[in-house]
Amino acid sequence: MGSKTRCVARLLWIGLSWGVAVLSAADLPPTVPPPKPFQSAMPVVRVLPNGLKLAVIERHELPIIGVRLVVQSGAEADPASLPGTAQMVASLLNQGTTKRSAQEIARTIDQIGGMVETGADWDNSFVAVSVLTDRTELAFEMVSDMVIHPSFAPAEIERQRKQALSALSVAHDDPAYIADAAFDRLTFDGTAYGHPPDGTEEAVRRLTSSNIREFYARNYRPDNSILALVGDIRADEAYQLAARFFAEWKQDDPPPTRQPSTIDSSRTGTAHHSKGRRIVVIDKPDSVQTEIRVGNRGIPRGSSDYLALTVANQILGGPATNRLYKALRTEHGLTYSASSELDCYQTNGSWEGKTSTRSIETMKSLRLVLDQMNRLRDHAISQGELQTAQSYLTGHMALEVESPDSIVTQTLNLMVYNLPLDYWNLFPRELRTLQTEEVLNATRRYMDPERNVIVLVGNASAFSRELKKLGEVRVIPIERLDLGSPDLERPVAVNP
Amino acid sequence: MLVSWVCSRSLNKSANCSLCYNFCFGLPLNMRRSQDSGKLAKPGKTVTRFASLLIGLCLLCGHPANASVKLPHCAIRNIVLTNGLRVVMLEDHTAPVAGVQVWYHVGSKNELPGKTGFAHLFEHLMFDGTTNLGAEQFSDYIVRSGGIDNAYTTEDTTVFWETVPSNNLPVALWLEADRMRNLQINEQVFKTEREVVKEERRLRFDNQPYGSVVETLYRSAFQVHPYQHQTIGSMEDLERARVADIQEFYDRYYVPSNATLVMVGDFDTQDAERLAKKYFGGLPSGGSQEDRKIPQEPPQTAPRILRLVQKVALPAVVEGYHMPADGTPDAYPVRLAAKILSEGDSSRIYHRLVYEKQIALDAQSAGNFTEDPNLFFVLAILNAGHAPAEGEKEMEAEIERLKNELVPAEELDKAKNQILRDFIISRETVKTRGEELGYDSVVLKDVELVNTELARFLVVTPEDIQRVALKYFVRENVTIVEVLPEANQQSKPGK
A106 at the B interface (CB within 8 A)? yes
Q: Which residues pair with B64 in a beta bridge?
A: none
Q: Answer yes or no: is pLDDT of B356 > 60.
A: yes
Residues of A in contact with B40 (CB under 8 A): 310, 393
DSSP track, A362-385: HHHHHHHHHHHHHHHHHSPPPHHH
What is the 8-class DSSP label of residue B258? G
pLDDT of residue A42: 80
With CB atoms and an 8 Å threshold, state whether B384 touches A166.
Answer: yes
Q: Are A69 and A126 in contact (CB under 8 A)?
A: yes
Span B416-474, pLDDT tens digits:
999 999 999 999 999 999 999 999 999 999 999 999 999 999 999 999 999 999 999 99
User: Mutate which of B1, B4, B5 to disrupt the A interface (most A C-beta within 10 Å)?
Assistant: B5
Residue A113: closest C-alpha in chain B: B418
How far are the Cα atoms of A122, A326, B297 from residue A331, in angstroms, in the given order?
A: 36, 6, 42
Distance from CA of A275 to the nearest CA of B (A): 26
Nearest CB neighbour to B6, from listed A162, A173, A405: A405
User: Mutate which of A193, A334, A399, A410 to disrupt the B interface (most B C-beta within 10 Å)?
Assistant: A399
pLDDT of residue A493: 60
Residues of B in contact with A345 (CB under 8 A): 43
With CB atoms and an 8 Å threshold, state whether B131 touches A24.
Answer: yes
Pick the more confident residue, A234 or B39: A234
Span B65-103, pLDDT tens digits:
455 788 999 999 999 999 999 999 999 999 999 999 999
Nearest CB neighbour to A321, from listed B143, B196, B421: B143
Residue B137: closest C-alpha in chain A: A321
- Going by their DSSP bridges, the two strands A453-458 and B77-80 should be labelled as unpaired
With CB atoms and an 8 Å threshold, state whether A91 touches B13.
Answer: yes
Residues of A in contact with B425 (CB under 8 A): 64
Residues of B in contact with A358 (CB under 8 A): 198-199, 202
Amino acid occupying residue B85: L
Three-point CA angle B177, B178, B184, nearest 5°: 140
Mean pLDDT of B233-254: 91
With CB atoms and an 8 Å threshold, state whether A132 touches B429.
Answer: no
Spatial neighbors of A372 by CB under 8 A, at least 6 apart, are: A316, A317, A323, A324, A327, A353
Distance from CA of B387 to the nearest CA of A (A): 14
Rounded-to-integer distance, Cα A105 and Cα A141, Å: 11
With CB atoms and an 8 Å threshold, state whether A401 touches B95.
Answer: yes
Distance from CA of B114 to the nearest CA of A (A): 23
With CB atoms and an 8 Å threshold, state whether B3 touches A123.
Answer: no
With CB atoms and an 8 Å threshold, state whether A336 touches B346.
Answer: no
DSSP track, A89-157: HHHHTTSBBSS-BHHHHHHHHHHTT-EEEEEEETTEEEEEEEEEGGGHHHHHHHHHHHHH-B---HHHH
Residue A101: closest C-alpha in chain B: B346
A167 at the B interface (CB within 8 A)? yes
Nearest CB neighbour to B41, from listed A33, A162, A344: A344
Please provide the average confidence, as pLDDT, over all residues in chain B: 86
A336 at the B interface (CB within 8 A)? yes
Span B97-149, pLDDT tens digits:
999 999 999 999 999 999 999 999 999 999 999 999 998 899 999 999 999 99
Residue B416: closest C-alpha in chain A: A113
Amino acid occupying residue B157: T
With CB atoms and an 8 Å threshold, state whether A197 touches B46.
Answer: yes
With CB atoms and an 8 Å threshold, state whether A110 touches B131.
Answer: no
Q: Answer yes or no: is pLDDT of B174 > 90.
A: yes
Pick the more confident residue, B54 or B445: B445
Residues of B in contact with A171 (CB under 8 A): 15-16
With CB atoms and an 8 Å threshold, state whether B418 touches A91.
Answer: no
Residues of B in contact with A126 (CB under 8 A): 2-3
Nearest CB neighbour to B140, from listed A130, A318, A321: A321
Confidence (pTM): 0.89
Residues of B in contact with A400 (CB under 8 A): 38-39
Q: Kindly provide the b/e burial profile for residues B477-492, where b requires at least 16 CB atoms within 10 angstroms of the residue's own CB.
A: bbbbbbbbbeeeeebe
Nearest CB neighbour to A117, from listed B3, B46, B166: B3
| pLDDT values of chain A reduced to their tens digit, one per residue, 496 residues | 333 333 333 333 333 333 333 334 468 999 998 888 777 778 889 999 999 999 999 999 999 999 999 999 999 999 999 999 999 999 999 999 999 999 999 999 999 999 999 999 999 999 999 999 999 999 999 999 999 999 999 999 999 999 999 999 999 999 999 999 999 999 999 999 999 999 999 999 999 999 999 999 999 999 999 999 999 999 999 999 999 999 999 976 665 555 544 434 333 334 444 568 999 999 999 999 999 999 999 999 999 999 999 999 999 999 767 999 999 999 999 999 999 999 999 999 999 999 999 999 999 999 999 999 999 999 999 999 999 999 999 999 999 889 988 999 999 999 999 999 999 989 999 999 999 999 999 999 999 988 999 999 999 999 999 999 999 999 999 999 999 888 899 887 645 4
A156 at the B interface (CB within 8 A)? no
Q: What would you report as the CA-atom Rg of chain A, rounded to the nearest whole angstrom? A: 25
Pick the more confident residue, B6 or A439: A439
ipTM of the complex: 0.89
pLDDT of residue B141: 95
Distance from CA of B312 to the nearest CA of A (A): 6
With CB atoms and an 8 Å threshold, state whether A404 touches B428.
Answer: yes
Residues of B in contact with A289 (CB under 8 A): 199, 202-203, 206-207
> How many of the other CB atoms lie within 10 Å of CB of B309?
12
Q: Answer yes or no: is pLDDT of B491 > 70.
A: no
Span B10-37, pLDDT tens digits:
222 222 333 443 343 333 344 333 322 2
- Identify the CA nearest to A222 among candidates A192, A261, A259, A253: A253
Rounded-to-integer distance, Cα A69 and Cα A147, Å: 8
Rounded-to-integer distance, Cα A124 and Cα A71, Å: 5
Spatial neighbors of A21 by CB under 8 A, at least 6 apart, are: A28
Helix H or strand E encompassing B437: helix B430-442
Span B260-283, pLDDT tens digits:
999 999 999 999 999 999 999 999
Nearest CB neighbour to B146, from listed A68, A117, A398: A398
pLDDT of residue B25: 34
A70 at the B interface (CB within 8 A)? yes
Nearest CB neighbour to A27, from listed B39, B47, B132: B132
Q: Answer yes or no: is pLDDT of B48 > 80.
A: no
User: Mutate which of A121, A339, A354 to disrupt the B interface (most B C-beta within 10 Å)?
Assistant: A121
> How many of the other CB atoms lie within 10 Å of CB of A147?
24
Rounded-to-integer distance, Cα B360 and Cα B347, Å: 14
Residues of B in contact with A329 (CB under 8 A): 196
With CB atoms and an 8 Å threshold, state whether A170 touches B36.
Answer: no
Rounded-to-integer distance, Cα B207 and Cα B198, Å: 12
Rounded-to-integer distance, Cα A238 and Cα A371, Å: 53
How far are the Cα atoms of B126, B285, B486 from residue B152, in angstroms, in the given order?
A: 11, 23, 34
Residues of A in contact with B32 (CB under 8 A): 337
Torsion A262-A265-A268-A271 (CA) sign: negative
Distance from CA of B43 to the nearest CA of A (A): 5
Residue B420: closest C-alpha in chain A: A113
Amino acid occupying residue B288: S
